[in-house]
Structure 1
Amino acid sequence: MLLSTCLLALAVLLPACNLSNDPHDEPSAGPSDNVLRIDVNFDFGPFCPHVLDCSGSRYVFPFIYSFLCVPNPEGALEPDLAVAWDYDPKTFTWRIRLRKDARFHNGEPVTAADVAYSISTCTKNLQKRLARKIKSIKAIDEYVLEIELEQDDPSFLNDLWTLEVIPDLGRHANLDLNDFPIGSGPFQFAGWEDDGSVILTANDNYYNGRPAIDRVVFYYIPRQEDSWVRLINGETDIAGNLAVKNYEIIKQYADRFYFAKYQYNYYSILLYNTLHPLFGDPMVRRALTHAIDRDYIVKNILNEFAEVIAGPMGNRSPYRHPDLKPLAYNPTLAIQHLEKAGWTLDPHTQSLMKNGQPFAFELLLLSGSDTDLRIARFIKLKLNELGIRVHLKALPLDELLEHYSQNSAFNAVLTTLTAKSHPPEGVLELWIKMDDKPSIAGGFDSSEAARLADLAFGAEDPETRKALFQRFDHLIADLQPGSFLFQETYIDAMSKRFTINYPFSWDYPGHYRLQHARLKNE
């Protein structure tokens, strides 16, 4: 979920699919038209990629816009707009040469000035960490760009590649990218259908050659359950975040679908408002974590398609603290912590009380996710066993973000945060103030966390930097600003109506590679 993270609506109830377990009960194979249909579970917002946004538009960007370079399936960067690049470690300078045949969808050439503008605006608006790394950006000529860094960073392009290149709005008059995006990618924006779907058409003048697919249509389908019914019935071609129960059913149709199975680099957390009197004491927050049986959630709700985590770096990051272990499920210890914090059980109401007030709070969660709802209900049940009363409230994504992202207008929220290790600075930025604004993670504030983050941002030695990230991981886990729950394994699926010559994946590089997909038997 985003700002730098994206909430993902998870889960599907088995009855919602209306499928039998009989593999011979074959669903519809779908139409034969040369249109790639994609379901997204967030509504569409602005189409300018350099505007802070957490909408379904983010799925559209890799089809419309180009990048300097893009990772191949093995993770190595390959040229896109950039045809060559080199780095001078003595001057901390990157020199990037651009292809000369790339044009925006309005026919204007893509120049080094456009790339410099894109980097400057994106880092200023969305990626301030990258902005701090850049000393200067200048176009040497029409197709050569130089980026001078503040310090040595030979892996800088790995941070930069996700930045979409847009026209320099100072030189290209009368463009409104929010409503009518202009990029240089394989598909161009054609408009909206009456049902709210977004239509893209193949770019006949694309520098890598016209895509074989004629059109791409994006549908906003808020409930994952509905997307999977549509996929099985042949009404859409791509759906992400397949629920475990659906996967157990759909995998018998392996001849009809490509599957991508991977551990997501986001994790689920029950985030607390540490500025609220209920959650100001780290001992109380640790007690709540001890009261939640996360192994039960992983085994019985997520069918073991997840791992319990201990801290903000997740389980797979090289920057996680090697000695950090998840807090154990231990209701007895939870009660002891709560008693030390002054909470006592009222024998008449069976509620925890302190200074005449019950321990009761509102837990926010994303609407439209049956799995999130099941998890929230289980958490409510476990806390109720201790005498803590929880009221659940489901909200759409934009409202949910308004309550907790750089804000403290909430008690607790079930959400997802990033555990990306490339680059790991994004994890730190969730938990500290940036530009005097509250942290993304519910306004959480720790002077020691801010100090470690500053040291990590400025460290040049890789091992020193890694050690600082690990200390940060351990510190946040000790402070327990939320109950770190689990890191999921996700499954995405794509119809085999289309052939692809690479492994299917539904991440940003995977979106980009769909330009090479081709209707089967075409």
Structure 2
Amino acid sequence: MTQQHFLSRLLTQRLRDALPGGAAADLWNVALDEHVGGHLDRRALLKYAGALGITTALGSAGLLAGLRPAKAAGKPGGTIRVGLSQPTAAFNPVLLTDSASIGVLSQVGEYLILDDPEHGLVPQLALSWEADESLTRWTVKLRPGVRFHDGREVTSADVVASFERITDPANGSSALSALKGLLAKGGTSATDPLTVVFQTEIANTNFPYYISSSVVAAIVLPAHLGSDYEKSFIGTGPFRFESYQPQRGIAFVRNDDYWGEKALPDRVEFRFYQDQQAQFLALKSGEVDVIPEVSTLTTVVESDPTLQILSVDSARHDAIHLRTDAAELSDARVRRAFALAIDRKAIVSGFYRDRASTGNDSVFSPIYASTDDSVPQREQDIAAAKRLLGEAGLPNGFKVKLTTERAYSIPEYAVLLQNQVRQAGIELDLNILPQDAYYGKAVFGESPWLDSELGITDFGHRGTPDVILNATLRSDGPWNAAHFKSPAYDGLLKDYSTARDLQAQRLAAGKIQRLLLEETPTVITHFNKFIRFSNKRVAGVRFTAISHFLLAGAYLA
């Protein structure tokens, strides 16, 4: 037995001693075997501990040392200033969707669990979580002594009310896209002031992600919230509300009564701008310290000695949907030909300058521990693409309209795709719409996104792939723009969601990955890093890949 294997086994035994019972330790033992076998790195191992809800037990047993990086030791004080686009609507945690609002509310609002970009699922207002054998009843223990900014103590009643709000269809919460079919209104209850029980409609091993910051609207708020959130911006976070000027900006100050480690900055300010160019000019002039990425200016930032690029790995991607019930695209051979005509290396290395990883036509990004990396990577093959088109009765190729949104770098990406697939005889007629027009009412029959034959849609990062797998490709998925109907896929997705350990989950993932390569209802060529620009006078700025700003540890360098 190697020393590494011995230490891993020793860690497992110490973990068994730290846990009440051996079920979680058995699952952890599988993860350790994956780690020793080289299939799971140390970061992914810690993330899996979070998914099991055992990070608190690990910490109590002193088993996290060496896995987590040391905290930054910056000097307290000062103001961190962030430039953002204008929020798209009034601040309402229940309806939270746009990146600006997510960034702002992450200063005051907290979740049961934080999906941390480095460490995976980390206890925030929850201390632990565990499922019964059916994987449909999840018990969450709350952190005692946490108070809202107005002094009220957080109890299970607040958590129940918070989840009842976002699962009530009448409220139209953005969380419904993730929770529909999994957690219904009435599915959350309390057994005592510090214990919450979630009764899910179906079994799902990854349920902790659905009650984490991965579902941005799942912020824990007071049971009696009131109707005008913008008057209080109440929460439990490391900063508390100071002032708000609509369309101009908002400021928060350090919460000295915070339950955890106190924030370093005295204040954080968010200033709103009409466009990305204005944000960049504000960064360059020193008016703000941090802004979102402006993709057209990344090379400018790289060469500027006063600025820096901050990034986190993510599963963020631009999905190309191919309607499986429309004209030529109804033939899987035609869809595969389209995918084979694309040069992914040119996209990742050229278009994105290696600030992305290669996709293989499913949402199973390299960052997910369950991704089966033995599945062959699809590469450009023009000859094979032409052969498939010929077999499908299209020896001269075909023409199709590609509809997409004018957002981020998608229009330029669409032009690149247009030029690449032309080599195989596929002509794309580009139809680039304003973002709001592209999404329309976001329901079938009233949305170019969901109704177009061929389209490109941006999808943000999710902590677990099944959030997107369910919404976009399940037969009754609300975002199934490909109109993909596959009982085999639906069954495999259920297998993936109920797999109890990493080996079983990876086995199901591999089957899904291979099925999607064969059917090709979507093409995913890349996964983007999530990027922020910053000046070099600040350090310790952290953020998630779905736009939360974690500024409690930021400081003036």
Give your verdict on TM over 0.5.
Answer: yes
- The RMSD of aligned alpha carbons is 3.8
Q: Does residue 550 of structure 2 align to residue 513 of structure 1?
A: yes
The number of equivalent residue pairs is: 461
Deviations 1:127-185 (A, max 9, x none): 327944999543344444455678998975455331311222xx44x424489743232
Amino acid at match of 1:483: V
Shift of 1:206: 4.3
Q: Does residue 270 of structure 2 align to residue 217 of structure 1?
A: yes
Alignment of 1:460-471 (within 5 A): 460=500, 462-471=502-511
SS of the equivalent of 2:459 reads strand
CA distance 1:288–1:157, change in 2 (3 Å)? closer
CA distance 1:468–1:52, change in 2 (3 Å)? farther
More divergent stretch after superposition (48-57 vs 285-294): 48-57
Which residue in 1 is equivalent to 2:248? Answer: 197
Deviations 1:181-218 (A, max 9, x none): 43232344566536x23413326564245763334214
Alignment of 1:1-400 (within 5 A): 35-41=79-85, 43-51=87-95, 53-70=97-114, 75=119, 80-82=124-126, 84-85=127-128, 87=130, 94-105=139-150, 108-122=152-166, 125-126=175-176, 127-128=178-179, 131-132=182-183, 137-147=188-198, 157=208, 159-162=210-213, 163-168=218-223, 171-172=224-225, 174-177=226-229, 181-188=233-240, 193=245, 196-202=247-253, 206-208=257-259, 212-223=265-276, 225-241=277-293, 243=295, 246-253=297-304, 256-257=306-307, 259-312=309-362, 313-345=364-396, 352=397, 359-367=399-407, 369=408, 371-400=409-438
Shift of 1:65: 0.8
| Cα distance in 2 for residues equivalent to 1:111 and 1:130 | 26
8 Å contact from structure 2 (residues 110, 125) kept in 1: yes
Which residue in 2 is equivalent to 1:426? Answer: 467
| Cα distance in 2 for residues equivalent to 1:486 and 1:216 | 34
Amino acid at match of 1:64: V
SS of the equivalent of 1:266 reads strand
| Cα distance in 2 for residues equivalent to 1:56 and 1:376 | 26
Shift of 1:316: 3.8
8 Å contact from structure 2 (residues 86, 100) kept in 1: yes
Amino acid at match of 2:406: L
CA distance 1:64–1:399, change in 2 (3 Å)? farther
| Cα distance in 1 for residues equivalent to 2:527 and 2:546 | 21
CA distance 1:185–1:471, change in 2 (3 Å)? same
| Cα distance in 2 for residues equivalent to 1:45 and 1:295 | 39
8 Å contact from structure 1 (residues 404, 410) kept in 2: no
SS of the equivalent of 2:365 reads coil
Deviations 1:34-93 (A, max 9, x none): 5533233574235333336345322222112122344667517655434x4465867965
Which residue in 2 is equivalent to 1:478? Answer: 518
Deviations 1:435-483 (A, max 9, x none): x554444433322211211233334455333311221122112211133
Task: Give the structure-2-normalised TM-score.
Answer: 0.70
| Cα distance in 1 for residues equivalent to 2:525 and 2:204 | 34
CA distance 1:155–1:481, change in 2 (3 Å)? closer
8 Å contact from structure 1 (residues 213, 515) kept in 2: no
8 Å contact from structure 2 (residues 241, 253) kept in 1: no
CA distance 1:291–1:155, change in 2 (3 Å)? closer
Q: Does residue 528 of structure 2 align to residue 488 of structure 1?
A: yes
8 Å contact from structure 2 (residues 474, 489) kept in 1: no
Task: Give the structure-1-normalised TM-score.
Answer: 0.74
| Cα distance in 2 for residues equivalent to 1:311 and 1:398 | 26
More divergent stretch after superposition (408-417 vs 203-212): 203-212
8 Å contact from structure 1 (residues 383, 389) kept in 2: yes
| Cα distance in 1 for residues equivalent to 2:340 and 2:549 | 43
Deviations 1:365-390 (A, max 9, x none): 333x3x43332112222334444432
Which residue in 2 is equivalent to 1:356? Answer: none
Shift of 1:286: 1.2
8 Å contact from structure 1 (residues 298, 307) kept in 2: yes
8 Å contact from structure 2 (residues 117, 544) kept in 1: no
| Cα distance in 2 for residues equivalent to 1:93 and 1:387 | 52
Q: Does residue 451 of structure 2 align to residue 409 of structure 1?
A: yes
SS of the equivalent of 1:63 reads coil
CA distance 1:281–1:90, change in 2 (3 Å)? closer
Larger relative CO (CA 8 A, sep 6+): 1 or 2?
A: 1
More divergent stretch after superposition (511-520 vs 144-153): 144-153
8 Å contact from structure 1 (residues 72, 78) kept in 2: yes
Deviations 1:392-428 (A, max 9, x none): 23333333333877663213222333674x4332132
Shift of 1:102: 0.7
8 Å contact from structure 1 (residues 93, 147) kept in 2: yes
| Richer in helix (by share) | 2
Which residue in 1 is equivalent to 2:25? Answer: none
| Cα distance in 2 for residues equivalent to 1:433 and 1:448 | 10
| Cα distance in 1 for residues equivalent to 2:165 and 2:185 | 12
**Structure 1 gap segments, 5+ residues each:** 1-32, 346-351, 354-358
| Cα distance in 1 for residues equivalent to 2:138 and 2:378 | 45
8 Å contact from structure 1 (residues 260, 506) kept in 2: no
SS of the equivalent of 1:278 reads helix
| Cα distance in 2 for residues equivalent to 1:206 and 1:130 | 38
| Cα distance in 2 for residues equivalent to 1:303 and 1:193 | 38
Which residue in 1 is equivalent to 2:485? Answer: 445
8 Å contact from structure 1 (residues 134, 148) kept in 2: no
8 Å contact from structure 2 (residues 91, 101) kept in 1: yes
SS of the equivalent of 2:551 reads helix
Percent identity for Structure 1 against Structure 2: 19
Amino acid at match of 1:340: E
| Cα distance in 1 for residues equivalent to 2:283 and 2:377 | 37
